[in-house]
Amino acid sequence: MVEALIFDVFGTCVDWRSSVAREVATVLPEVDAEAFARAWRAEYDPAMARIREGARGYVPLEDLHLENLDSVARVFGVRVPDRDALNAAWERLDPWPDVIRGLKALKRLAIIAPCSNGSIALMTRLARYGGLPWDCILGADIARDYKPRPEVYLASCAALRLAPDRVMMVAAHNDDLFAARAVGLKTAFVPRPTEHGPGQSRDLCAESDWDIVAADFKDLSRRVAALQG
């Protein structure tokens, strides 16, 4: 019996690539906006890795995004007129078309919350922008660490006072699910084959026997309902 569903957000719920590229195109018309957005995102994991490894204390994702924006702007040889304004592009990411309706259906079945590496502030603003109907915000800020560290999944379950096997992690990324399953959570995979663009080569399909493999959030809500009887 699943009492809560917790979600990866960037890529799984929202299309960061075209949303960020759209804002880059407005502010920096001289660059390839898609390439800039992808390069910005490519700095994401290395920046968190230092914190996960303990080489740096916890810093919320907004601050990492801003540092990464500076690096990417240097590589592209551009000056960003208003760094904070462009950084806030990560608060204005469009949900994939199936997400809002799917989350509303899932919310009738269980608690729904993001378990993202985005901060409470970022996830709150993103939810208001896109209409994501979360019950609460969990994830990195709660644990003061970054996925896929086990603490992030466990702190999210603990914040709901639920045993991990009553909580299902939903993600479009197999690595996220391997990490969640390793600490006892249930798992659901939803593919997002264009997250990284038309040439995407990873996470095109489920790489393990996840508890649920769904086509989209509507299908996910049907399968969760079936699981709960």
For a second copy, the binding residue among 28, 48, 123, 179 (CB under 8 A) is 123
Binding to a second copy (CB under 8 A) within 170-229 occurs at: none
CB of 77 to a second copy, least distance (A): 30
Residues with Cβ within 8 Å of residue 164, at least 6 apart in sequence: 153, 154, 157, 183, 184, 185
Q: In this chain, which stretch among 12-20, 93-101, 126-134, 217-225 interacts with a second copy, using CB under 8 A?
A: 126-134
Per rule CB under 8 A, is residue 88 in the interface with a second copy?
no
Residues with Cβ within 8 Å of residue 33, at least 6 apart in sequence: 21, 22, 24, 25
SS3 of 2, please?
A: coil
Per rule CB under 8 A, is residue 128 in the interface with a second copy?
yes
Tokens coding 37: 């957005």
For a second copy, the binding residue among 35, 39, 78, 120 (CB under 8 A) is 120
Can you spell out the DSSP letters for 98-112?
THHHHHHHHHTTSEE
Would you tell me which residues interact with a second copy (CB under 8 A)?
A: 60, 62, 111, 113, 119-121, 123-125, 127-128, 134-138, 141-142, 159-162
